[in-house]
Structure 1
Amino acid sequence: MTIATPTKTSSLPAPMRRLAAGWTLASAADNFLMFVLLWSAGPQGWSGQQTALLVVAIRLPAVLGGVLGGRAVDRFGPVPMLLLDAVARVFLMGALAISAWNGDLHIWTVLALGAAAGTTAPLSYAAARTLVPRLVEPHLLGKANALLSIGDQLPLLLGAILTGPALGLLGTGPAFLLPLAMLVAVAVIALRMRAAPQYAPVRPDDAGTTGARTWRSARVIGLISLSVAYYFTYGPYETVMPYFVREELGSGLGGYTVIWALFGAAALLTLPLAARLSRHRPGLVNAVGAIAWGALMLPLAFVHDLTAVAIGFAVSGAIWGPYAAIETTALHRWTDPADHGRIFGTQRAVLAIASPLGAAVGALGIDRLSPPAILAISAAGCALAGLAALSIRDLRRSR
C-alpha cells in the first residue's frame, strides 16, 4: 500500500470505481441466490415454515460473520477480507450448483451451504465501506458512497431480471454458476486493489479513543436502529410478494420480475441525490424517507392491478434509492476510521438479520393472514419507525 497525495479534484479515482464494481458483483451474487431460492420454494414443495427456516438459516450467520468479520477487517485490512469472502463463496456456489444439477433442491443441503455463504458475505460489505474514505479525499466522500451504493440497488434489479431467464434457460443447478462467475470477478478485483494508493481518513473531532464511545452516541445508535426497523419491515415483502403476485394480481414470474425490476431501476435513478442530501441532516432525511416509504406502500397492499402496483413500487424504489448512501456517509463522518471495520461489520450483522427475520415472520404469517394484510402491517411499521427516529433530537439535528 502507498500513501496518496491529496489533490483537489471532482472525479473519483480508478480504485474507487473498481471497488464499486467489486461490491456490486459481491452483492449481486448474494441477491441472486436469495431470489432463486425464494421463487423455487413453492415449486420445490417447501412449506411456509421451511421457507422461513431457509431465510433465517442463510442470514442468521451474518451476525457472527459481521461482528467478527468487521474486527478482522480492522485487524488484517479490508482488501484481504474482500478476497477471502470472494474465494470462499466461489467454492460454496460451485457446491450448490453440483448438488442441484438435476433440478432438485434438497432443503438441508441448501441450509448448510447457504449458512456458510451468509457467514462470509459481511466481509465484503465491511471491507468495501472501510476502504471508501481511504480511496477518496474527504470532499468526495458523499459522491463515492453514492457510487458504492449502486451495489446496494443494482443487485436487486439484476436479481429480478436474471432469476427467470437463469432458471428457465439453465435450470436450477446450473443457475448457481452465474453467482460463481460474479465472485470470481470480485476475487480478481480484490487482487488488483492490493496496490491501490490510500489516503489517511479524517478522524472526527468528537471521536473517542475506542469504538465504545461510538456506540454511546445517540445519533449513531438512532441511525442504525432506524435501518434495523426499516429492513425488518421490508423483510415480509421478500417472502410474501410471490404469493401477492400470484393470488392478488393474478400474475406469474413475469409480473414478479417487472415489479422488482422497476423498484431497482427507480432506486438507481435517485442515487445521485445521495451526495447532496448527505451534506445536510442525514438522520432527518432518512427518517422522513422511511415515513414516506411506509405511507406509500400501505395503500398498495390493497390494490389488485399489476400496473398500479408496479408504478407504486417504482415510486417506492425512488424513495429508497439514496437511503443507504446517506447512512454510510454519516457513519463515516461521525465515527473513528480506526473502528470502521467494526462499525460497518456490526451494522451489517444487525441489518442482515433484521430483513430475514421480517421475511420469516412474513412467511409464517402466510398460513394465518392474507398477503395484503401482511404487507399493510409491514408498511405501517416502517412509517412508525421513521416517526420514532424523528423523536431523537441528536439524530434529527446532526449535520
Structure 2
Amino acid sequence: MSAAVLAAAPPRPAHRDPQVLRWLGAYTASTVGDSVYYLALSWAAVSSGSPAQAGLVMAVSAVPRALLLLFGGVIADRLGPRRVVLVSDTVRCLVTLGLAAVLLATSPGLWLLAAAALVFGAVDAVFLPAVGALPPRIAAHDQLARVQGLRGLAHRMGSVLGAPLGGLAVATGGPASAFGAAGALFALSLPLLSALRLRPLPTGEKGEKAGSPVLRDLADGLRHLRRHRVLGPLMITILLADLGFVGPLNVGLALLAEQRGWGAPGIGWLLAGFGAGAGAASLLLAVRGRLPRAGATLGWTMLLGASAVAVLAFVPRLPAAVAVAVAVGLLAGVSGALCHALVQTECEPAYLGRVSAVSSLGSLGLAPLGMPLTGAAAGLWGTGPVFVAGAAVCALSGAFALTVPALRRAELPR
C-alpha cells in the first residue's frame, strides 16, 4: 500500500488502536494498584496506631502533591510524558514491594508508613500531569474525547476492582500481602508503557529548552493558559467545580449516612450510585466519541449537577438518595469528561503537562486540604448548609462557563 493511501486512510478508532489499548491497560493496572495500596496503607496505619494517627498518615501524601503538582507539569513537558509515567510506576512498584518485605520481616512504626505516603504524594505530583499529557501523543486528534471516555471507564473499573482485591489480600495475608499485590499491579503497567511509541510534537510547536529555569518554564505555561481564549476560563471552571464538589461528596456523604442512620452500607450504596452514574457518562463519551456543543453542555450539566448535590442533603430515604447520587454521578461525569476532553483538544501538546497540572490542582491538591474545614463546618451548622454551600460553588462554575463566549461555544473535533 502506498504512502499516499496510508495518509488518506481514516484514523483508527481509539478502542481498536493498539497504542491506546496499551496505555489503557497500563492506566487500569496502575489505578487498581493505587486502590489496593491505599487500602493496605489505611489498614496498616490503623493496626499500628490510633485512629487520629492513621488519619494523619493517610492525609500526609496530599501535602507534597499540592506543593509539587505544578512543577510536576514542567517535568512532564521537559522529559516527555511516557518516560515520567514509566519512572513513576517503577518507583511506586519498588516502594510497595519494599513495604511488603519489611512487613513480612518486622512490625515497622508509623514513621515508615508516613514516609511511604510522602513518597507516593511526591510521585503523584509528576505522575498525574504526565498521564494527562499522554493521550494526544498516542491518539488522533478526533479520537481524544473517546480516549477520555475510555480513561473514565478504566478509572471506575480501578475503583470497583481495587477495594475488594485489596480487602481479599489483607484477609489472606495481612497488609504485606496487599502491598505485594499493589506492587505486582504497578509492575504490570511497566512493559505496556515501555511499548508505547509517542507521536512527535507538531512542527513548529514550542517545547522546553534544555537548561532553562524551571520557574521560567512554569511561567511560560501559565502565560499560555492566560492568553488562551478557552483554556484560561476552563481552568477557572474546573477549579470552582472541584472546590465545591470534593468536600460534600467525600466528607459530607459519611456524615449524611450517619445522621440518617444508614450506616456504612448506606455510604457504600451512595458511592455505588455515584460511580454507576459517572461510569455511564464515561461510557457515553467512549461510544459516541463527542457530544455537540461541548462548552454549553458542560456548563448546563454543572448547573444541573449542582442542584442535585443540594437536593441530596434533604432526601430522607436511602433508595431516593441513591437515585439522586446516580444523577449527580451522571451529570458530574458528563461535565468532567467534557472538561478533560476540551483540555486535551484545545491545548498544544508541548504545554499539556503544565496545563494538566493546573487542571488537577483543585481536585487533587487544594480540595483535599479543605476536607477538615468541611467536617468542622458540618459540625457547626449541619450537613444541609455544607451541601448547599458546595452546590452553590459548583453552580457558580457552570454559570461562569456559560457566560464566557469562547468557552460556551467550544466544540470537540469531529
Superposition TM-score tier, normalisation by shorter sequence = 0.7 to 0.9
CA contact (8 A) 1:97 1:177 kept: yes
CA contact (8 A) 1:62 1:348 kept: no
Decide whether aligned partners of structure 1 residues 263 and 238 sit closer, same or farther in structure 2, where only a CA change above 3 A counts: same
Letter in 2 for 1:135: I
Which residue of the other structure, out of 207, 214, 231, is the alignment partner of 1:220? 231
Any idea what the Cα deviations from partners look like across 1:277-333, whole Å, max 9, x if unmatched? 855443322222221112112121122422222222222212222334322321233
Which residue of the other structure, out of 14, 20, 24, is the alignment partner of 1:20? 24
Write the mapping of 1:330-345 to structure 2, written as runs, cut at 5 A. 330-345=342-357
Aligned partner of 1:198 in structure 2 is 199
CA drift of 1:21 comes to 2.0
In structure 2, stretches of 5+ residues that fail to align are: 1-5, 206-219
CA contact (8 A) 2:146 2:289 kept: no
**Whole-Å separation in 2 of the counterparts to 1:103 and 1:320:** 44
1:46 to 2:51 alignment: yes
In structure 1, stretches of 5+ residues that fail to align are: 205-209
Instruction: Name the structure with the higher helix share.
Output: 2
RMSD between superposed Cα atoms in Å: 3.5
> Structure 2-normalised TM-score?
0.79
Write the mapping of 1:107-186 to structure 2, written as runs, cut at 5 A. 108-159=111-162, 161-162=164-165, 165=168, 167-168=170-171, 170-186=173-189
Decide whether aligned partners of structure 1 residues 54 and 347 sit closer, same or farther in structure 2, where only a CA change above 3 A counts: farther
**Whole-Å separation in 2 of the counterparts to 1:167 and 1:372:** 36
> Structure 1-normalised TM-score?
0.82
Letter in 1 for 2:26: G
1:287 to 2:299 alignment: yes
CA contact (8 A) 2:233 2:404 kept: yes
Letter in 2 for 1:336: E
Aligned partner of 1:267 in structure 2 is 278
CA contact (8 A) 2:66 2:366 kept: no
Name the SS of the counterpart of 1:215 in structure 2. Answer: helix
Aligned partner of 1:398 in structure 2 is 410
**Whole-Å separation in 2 of the counterparts to 1:371 and 1:318:** 22
Bigger Rg over Cα: 2
CA drift of 1:268 comes to 1.7
Aligned partner of 2:13 in structure 1 is 11
Letter in 1 for 2:10: K
CA contact (8 A) 1:67 1:346 kept: yes
CA contact (8 A) 2:20 2:138 kept: yes
Identity %: 21
Decide whether aligned partners of structure 1 residues 331 and 112 sit closer, same or farther in structure 2, where only a CA change above 3 A counts: same
1:362 to 2:365 alignment: no
CA drift of 1:79 comes to 1.5
CA drift of 1:19 comes to 0.6
**Whole-Å separation in 2 of the counterparts to 1:234 and 1:39:** 27
CA drift of 1:84 comes to 0.9
Any idea what the Cα deviations from partners look like across 1:338-373, whole Å, max 9, x if unmatched? 212222233333431133134232234454343444
CA contact (8 A) 1:142 1:274 kept: yes
Which residue of the other structure, out of 24, 31, 34, is the alignment partner of 1:30? 34
CA contact (8 A) 1:160 1:261 kept: no
Aligned partner of 2:209 in structure 1 is none
**Whole-Å separation in 2 of the counterparts to 1:279 and 1:16:** 21
**Whole-Å separation in 2 of the counterparts to 1:41 and 1:379:** 33
Any idea what the Cα deviations from partners look like across 1:79-98, whole Å, max 9, x if unmatched? 11111110111233345556
**Whole-Å separation in 1 of the counterparts to 2:60 and 2:33:** 17
Name the SS of the counterpart of 2:134 in structure 1. Answer: helix
Aligned partner of 2:392 in structure 1 is 380
Aligned length: 386
